């Protein structure tokens, strides 16, 4: 698949020009990519990366195919030079001229008209270079040349310098290439346990040539729009009765007259109504930044809400810089009015009285309301960002919303998301917990490094601050919870220094930069933490982290949790799951489906332990380019095999590809069941003393085709997990909690609605042929319940020994809920009906005496719906599958059917390359088909 060819960006010759300036977009074709050392030269484009241009030119195979992750490492080990074609159409009466780069990956030496212009060393910064002098002396049409160094080599060179910091062995999370922590480049470009290691290089974002024809003029480099409640301060709950402050700040190139003014227009998009217009107050110019503000009445704006909690009301804000008689520059940002706050305050008396355990809060509040955060962790959707299309990300965000997810954690160590992804999240109501790009390592703190980070932080905080989907800034990932404890264990005598360095970078440096550029967003130094003891903005270390203070005290809870356990024997023991206020990471890996493997692997390699499949599995990390070392991958592959063997029937099909496919599917069953078990447990915690208010599993989607923790495969295909998560993320759910060692069975209804829901749960025991079990095995047939706002209620408790089950291997408890309640911020007062089906078997699937349900599948061409029916036995894990060539999802999947029961679902087509023929390739199966039959 040559996905990137879809990325024919409309190459605008000129942006809407502001007064007296011309802007030449250097993006598009007409570039050359070359390596002198390798004697290669191919056509290139901007934005791009060398791998993509080499692939497009036919100079290399698809980087994602087979073992090219290993075979193409020579690309990352070499320099690549991007040279533009001669630039036409430059103004000859310009007063000054600039090259503006929105993103260069990463180490660049820039020449213009053959003259040295400057260097760059941070993938995440925007750079502008004054080329006026060089241009004035340039004969003919100039070219731009960007010589990209090998980040792999440069990282090693920095590490080899005599004054480079060192850390104890085993502390720094190392994947394929070492020393990523010395450079400001996407950290997963050097490998991660779910991805390849290409270390791409190139102009990965747009580039412009800006010229000013007059002394005065402004080109907008970046805009910071901050909307907050008056007197709001990042770490304190905002007062919803206060008016809004709209603070607009523009970073510009050029120069302004001595007394510039600013004007604003705030327009509601749905109604077209102007909420506010006029000039901004308190206009100040500092350096190359102009800032002003205005107020909006407390209740004047329609609020923006996350999906499921209300509407996503959006506004266009246009800010104009003016002198006494004309507009000098203007910028429009789409935004929303909301407060989003990470509450880490101490538990109050009032909360204690509600049964909430002491300690501290650790949950989000939107517009002053607590809510349950449901979602997952977003990793880079591709190893090569320039080929991430808006269309593909639309499909992904639609899948997020269809999956009942309202929050994604944008994990530290990919890249800061492009604005178009925040835009998609704004429209769909998906909150984006955003992180600075630091992960699983300790980082240097020398001044040049800190200065480089500071510029990166300021640029990105300002760039994305207007997006209502922005939910949080976190310094990095697993540094406080994993790296510091690791360092303490390995080098206790230096531990205090490591903590000092950590606080220097993530608190003393970054916190004030966030607060100075945003009043609206909470900050924490690292994901997974126990909150803070104190914030004092005038102190040298403005946030005093709690670390482990008090966390050993029984019955006290403080923070969020991050939990992995690859011993599958305890996968369903909820007693071992962490109890905390919020779960921001948990999971287990599984195989992608056959159709996805076929995009990347030759047919002869399609078996579970082929060298290609094994080497594409990076859990545990391959640690270098040795394609003969199977030790680490064997462990990870073994974990999947063992998990299947422990709990599920093991497939044994004659046809080797069918067998491979069934095994891949089996690993997905385990994964989905385990996540479901954890999510149910965490959600139930909303009504337990821990008052648990979030479940974000690891991970939303894949970067390529490989075994990973993802719920959505590389091209958009849903694994079993994404369907099961969608089911268990519904507002009102019913869940069995079975302790397999004691035999205790408890059934809970959990709701994240904002007021009470009432209804009934039917409990129906049947055998596997679907016949009712006599006396319903001693279980009441139905239970009425009422469940409070963001709460849980136990509806039934028993012990398996008390039930009259003749054969526990031939029994299934169907658990059917119907409830009525109000959706948060619903437009009408009417009650909404919620249904949920769950099921419970007293033994694991491998020990069930499964019978052939004789599934039938009908397609109705008129309604384009599929109807599945179990004709003769209970169908567990009923799975409708679709062929390659189409992307989309069924409205429901992986469900239980009893004989005679029919299920009709539509397939939501997101992309179809088969001209509708995919319909003929739809199949249905169930757990029965996974069993070994002779
Ligand atoms: C490779 O690129 C780096 C960064 O631009 C530069 O410092 C170095 O001189 C380049 N080396 C060659 C051989 O071009
Ligand atoms: C809002 O702003 C965007 C981007 O500048 C523009 O394309 C769109 O037309 C504007 N919408 C309205 C209703 O003004
Ligand atoms: C919160 O509780 C901790 C003890 O866990 C205490 O040290 C801290 O001062 C309290 N913070 C506030 C703001 O009361
Ligand atoms: C959850 O519901 C129980 C039972 O009604 C109630 O006692 C408890 O206070 C509720 N919890 C919260 C946090 O509202
Ligand atoms: C308690 O918090 C202080 C201040 O952050 C920190 O220095 C100390 O190490 C913490 N103690 C523990 C046991 O985490
Ligand atoms: C529960 O059982 C009753 C009686 O058979 C039936 O009317 C009702 O529809 C069932 N409810 C659900 C949610 O299945």
What does the pLDDT look like over 703-713, one tens digit per residue? Answer: 999 999 999 99
Tokens, residue 203:
């102009």
Distance CA 185, CA 107 (A): 9
Residue 576 phi/psi, 5° resolution? Answer: -95, -5
- Average per-residue pLDDT for the chain: 96
Residues 6+ apart with CB under 8 A from 442: 167, 171, 172, 181, 479, 483, 484, 487, 498, 501, 502
Q: Which CATH number is correct for 855-930, 1.25.40.10, 3.40.630.10, 3.40.50.150, 2.60.40.10?
A: 2.60.40.10
pLDDT bucket at 4, cuts 50 / 70 / 90:
very low
CB 576 within 8 A of CB 538: no
Please tell me if the CB atom of residue 816 comes closer than 6 angstroms to any atom of ligand 6: yes
For ligand 1, the distance from its centroid to the CA atom of residue 107, given in whole angstroms, is 8
Residue ranges around ligand 5 (CB below 6 Å) = 544-545, 547-549
138 lines ligand 3 (CB under 6 A): no
Instruction: Please tell me the residue having the least CA distance from ligand 1 atom 2.
Output: 149
For residues 702 and 708, is the Cβ–Cβ distance under 8 A?
Answer: yes
Given this model, what pLDDT does residue 799 score?
98
Atom of ligand 1 nearest to the CA of 107: 4
Instruction: Check pocket membership of 346 for ligand 3, CB cut-off 6 A.
Output: yes
Dist CA 86 CA 143 (whole Å): 5
Give the pLDDT confidence score for residue 816 in this predicted structure.
98
Of the ligands numbered here, which is closest to the C-alpha atom of 534? 3
- Tokens for 758? 């009432």
How far CA 875 is from CA of 807, 814, 853, 857, in Å, comes to 18, 12, 5, 13
Query: So what's the pLDDT on residue 472?
Result: 98
Query: Is pLDDT above 50 for 872?
Result: yes
The string of pLDDT tens digits covering residues 194-228 is: 999 999 999 999 999 999 998 889 999 999 999 99
Tell me the CA–centroid distance for residue 688 and ligand 4, in Å. 8
Best of 316, 336, 422 to mutate for ligand 2, by most ligand atoms within 8 A of CB?
316
Bridge-partner residues for 267, per DSSP?
Answer: 274, 316
pLDDT in tens, 745-795: 999 999 999 999 999 999 999 999 999 999 999 999 999 999 999 999 999
**If you average pLDDT over residues 658-666, what whole number do you get?**
97
Residue in 237, 533, 549 to alter for ligand 3 test, most ligand atoms within 8 A of Cβ? 533
The band of 17, judged by pLDDT with boundaries at 50, 70 and 90, is low
Listed in order, the ranges of the chain carrying CATH 2.60.120.260 are: 21-210
What ligand has the least distance to the C-alpha of 466? Answer: 2
Confidence of residue 622 (pLDDT cuts 50, 70, 90): confident
- pLDDT for 16 beyond 80: no
Give yes or no for a contact between 745 and 799, defined as CB atoms under 8 angstroms apart: yes
6: pLDDT strictly greater than 50: no
What pLDDT score was predicted for residue 92? 79
Ligand nearest to the CA of 152: 1
Of 563, 473, 479, nearest in space to 529 by CA: 479
Instruction: Provide the pairing of β-strand 340-343 with 327-335.
Output: unpaired
Q: What is the pLDDT of residue 841?
A: 98
Which pTM does this prediction carry? 0.97
Q: What would the two tokens of residue 618 be?
A: 């990076």
What are the backbone dihedrals phi and psi of residue 885, each rounded to the nearest 5 degrees, phi first? Answer: 100, -10
653 is catalytic: no
Residue 910 in contact with ligand 1 by CB distance below 6 A: no
pLDDT digits (tens, 9 = 90+) for 51-69: 999 999 999 999 999 999 9
Pocket of ligand 2 (CB under 6 A): 267, 269, 272, 316, 332, 334
Do 474 and 436 touch, CB atoms closer than 8 A? Answer: yes
CA distance 507 to 769: 61
The SS3 of residue 464 is helix
Distance 762 CA to ligand 6 centre (A): 6
254-286: per-residue pLDDT in tens? 999 999 999 999 999 999 999 999 999 999 999
Which atom of ligand 3 sits closest to the CA of residue 546?
Answer: 5
Handedness of CA 583, 584, 589, 593 (dihedral sign): positive
Bond before 47 cis per omega within 30 degrees: yes
Reading across the β-sheet that carries 694-697, which strands appear in turn? Answer: 523-524, 470-474, 431-435, 407-410, 373-378, 694-697, 582-586, 560-563
* CATH architecture for the domain at 21-210: Sandwich (2.60)
Q: Which residues are bridge partners to 218 per DSSP?
A: 254
Residues in contact with ligand 4 (CB, 6 Å cut-off): 354-356, 687, 691, 788, 791
CATH 2.60.40.10 occupies which residues in the chain? 855-930
Distance from the alpha carbon of residue 316 to the mean position of ligand 2, in angstroms: 6
Determine whether the shortest distance from the Cβ of 782 to ligand 6 is under 6 A: yes
pLDDT tens-digit map of 483-529: 999 999 999 999 999 999 999 999 999 999 999 999 999 999 999 99
Q: Across 287-325, where does the E strand assignment appear?
A: 289-296, 315-322
**How far, in Å, is the centroid of ligand 4 from the Cα of 587?**
29
623 confidence band (pLDDT: 50, 70, 90): low
Q: Which residues contact 818 (CB under 8 A, 6 or more apart)?
A: 759, 760, 833, 834, 835
Index of the ligand 3 atom closest to the CA of residue 558: 5
Nearest ligand atom owner, CA of 544: 5
Query: Average pLDDT of 604-630?
Result: 87
| From 186, 478, 480, 585, the catalytic residue | 478
Compute the average pLDDT of residues 867-891. Answer: 98
Average pLDDT over residues 411-427: 98
Closest CA to 183 of 73, 76, 106, 104: 106
- Ligand with smallest separation from the Cα of 183: 1
Residue-level pLDDT at 20 = 83
Tell me how crowded residue 920 is: count the other CB atoms within 10 A of its CB: 9
pLDDT of residue 624: 64
Cβ atoms 339, 366 nearer than 8 A: yes
Spacing, Cα 273 to ligand 2 middle (Å): 13
Report which protein residue has its CA nearest ligand 6's atom 14: 816
Task: Tell me the two tokens of residue 269.
Answer: 């998009």
By alpha-carbon position, which residue is closest to atom 12 of ligand 3? 346
Count of C-beta atoms within a 10 Å radius of residue 315: 27
């Amino acid at each position: 698949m040559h996905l990137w060819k879809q990325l024919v960006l409309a190459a605008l010759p000129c942006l809407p020009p502001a007064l007296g300036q011309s802007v030449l977009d250097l993006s598009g074709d007409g570039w050359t990519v070359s390596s002198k050392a390798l004697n290669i030269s191919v056509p290139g484009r901007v934005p791009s990366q060398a791998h993509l241009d080499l692939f497009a030119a036919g100079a290399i195979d698809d980087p994602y195919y087979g073992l090219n992750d290993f075979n193409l490492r020579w690309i990352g080990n070499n320099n690549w030079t991007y040279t533009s074609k001669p630039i036409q159409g430059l103004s000859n009466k310009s007063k000054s001229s600039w090259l503006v780069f929105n993103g260069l990956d990463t180490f660049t030496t820039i020449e213009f008209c053959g003259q040295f212009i400057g260097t760059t060393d941070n993938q995440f910064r925007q750079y502008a270079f004054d080329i006026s002098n060089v241009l004035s002396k340039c004969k003919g049409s100039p070219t731009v040349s960007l010589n990209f160094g090998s980040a792999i080599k440069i990282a090693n060179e920095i590490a080899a310098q005599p004054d480079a910091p060192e850390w104890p062995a085993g502390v720094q999370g190392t994947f394929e290439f070492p020393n990523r922590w010395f450079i400001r480049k996407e950290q997963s470009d050097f490998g991660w346990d779910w991805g390849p290691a290409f270390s791409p290089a190139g102009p990965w974002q747009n580039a412009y040539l800006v010229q000013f024809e007059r002394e005065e003029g402004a080109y907008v480099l970046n805009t910071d729009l901050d909307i907050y409640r008056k007197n709001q301060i990042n770490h304190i709950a905002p007062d919803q009765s206060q008016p809004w402050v709209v603070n607009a700040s523009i970073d510009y190139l050029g120069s302004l007259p001595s007394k510039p003014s600013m004007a604003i227009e705030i327009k509601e998009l749905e109604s077209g109504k102007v909420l506010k217009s006029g000039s901004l107050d308190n206009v100040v110019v500092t350096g190359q930044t102009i800032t002003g503000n205005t107020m909006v009445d407390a209740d004047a704006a329609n609020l923006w809400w996350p999906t499921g909690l209300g509407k996503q009301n959006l506004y266009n804000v246009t800010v104009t810089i003016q002198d006494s008689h004309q507009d000098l520059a203007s910028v429009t940002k789409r935004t929303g009015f909301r407060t989003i706050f990470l509450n880490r305050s101490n538990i109050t008396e009032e909360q204690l009285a509600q049964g909430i355990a002491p300690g501290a809060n650790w949950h989000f509040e939107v517009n002053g309301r607590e809510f349950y955060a449901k979602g997952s962790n977003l990793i880079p959707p591709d190893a090569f960002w320039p080929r991430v299309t808006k269309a593909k990300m639309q499909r992904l965000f639609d899948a997020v919303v269809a999956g009942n997810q309202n929050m994604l954690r944008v994990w530290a160590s990919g890249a800061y998301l492009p604005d178009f992804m925040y835009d998609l999240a704004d429209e769909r109501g998906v909150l984006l917990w955003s992180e600075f790009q630091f992960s699983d390592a300790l980082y240097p703190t020398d001044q040049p490094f800190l200065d480089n980070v500071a510029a990166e932080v300021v640029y990105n905080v300002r760039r994305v601050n207007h997006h209502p989907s922005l939910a949080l800034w976190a310094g990095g990932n697993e540094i406080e919870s994993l790296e510091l404890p690791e360092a303490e264990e390995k080098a206790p005598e230096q531990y205090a220094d490591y903590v000092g360095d950590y606080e220097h970078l993530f608190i003393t440096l970054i916190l004030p930069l966030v607060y100075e550029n945003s009043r609206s967003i909470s900050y924490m130094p690292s994901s997974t933490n126990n909150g803070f003891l104190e914030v004092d903005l005038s102190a040298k270390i403005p946030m005093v982290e709690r670390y482990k203070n008090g966390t050993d005290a029984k019955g006290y809870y403080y923070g969020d949790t991050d939990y992995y356990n690859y011993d599958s024997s305890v996968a369903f023991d909820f007693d071992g799951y962490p109890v905390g206020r919020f779960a921001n990471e948990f999971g287990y890996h599984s195989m992608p489906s056959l159709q996805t493997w076929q995009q990347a692997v030759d047919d002869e390699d399609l078996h579970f332990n082929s060298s290609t499949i094994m080497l594409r599995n990076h859990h545990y990390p391959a640690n270098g380019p040795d394609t003969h070392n199977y030790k680490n991958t064997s462990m990870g592959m073994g974990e999947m095999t063992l998990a299947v063997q422990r709990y599920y029937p093991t497939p044994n099909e004659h046809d080797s590809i069918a067998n491979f496919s069934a095994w891949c599917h089996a690993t997905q069953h385990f994964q989905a069941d385990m996540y479901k078990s954890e999510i149910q447990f965490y959600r139930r915690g909303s009504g337990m003393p821990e008052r648990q208010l979030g479940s974000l599993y690891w991970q939303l989607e894949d970067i390529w085709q490989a075994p990973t923790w993802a719920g959505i495969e590389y091209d958009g295909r849903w694994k079993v997990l994404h369907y099961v998560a969608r089911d268990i993320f519904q507002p009102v759910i019913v869940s069995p909690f079975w302790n397999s060692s004691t035999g205790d069975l408890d059934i809970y209804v959990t709701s994240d609605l904002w007021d009470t829901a009432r209804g009934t749960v039917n409990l129906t025991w049947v055998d596997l042929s679907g016949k009712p079990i006599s006396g319903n095995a001693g279980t009441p047939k139905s239970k009425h319940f009422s469940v409070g706002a963001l709460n849980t209620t136990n509806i039934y408790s028993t012990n398996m020994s008390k039930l009259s089950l003749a054969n526990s291997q031939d029994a299934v408890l169907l658990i059917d809920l119907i409830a009525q309640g109000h959706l948060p911020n619903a437009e009408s007062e009417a009650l909404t009906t919620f249904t949920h089906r769950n099921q419970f078997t007293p033994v694991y699937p491998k020990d069930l005496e499964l019978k052939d349900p004789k599934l039938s599948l009908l397609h109705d061409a008129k309604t384009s719906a599929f109807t599945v029916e179990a004709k003769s036995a209970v169908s567990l894990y009923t799975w409708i599958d679709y062929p390659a060539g189409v992307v989309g999802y069924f409205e429901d999947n992986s469900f239980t059917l009893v004989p005679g029961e029919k299920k009709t679902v539509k397939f939501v087509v997101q992309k179809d390359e088969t001209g509708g023929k995919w319909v003929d390739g739809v199949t249905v199966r169930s757990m029965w088909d996974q069993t070994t039959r002779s």
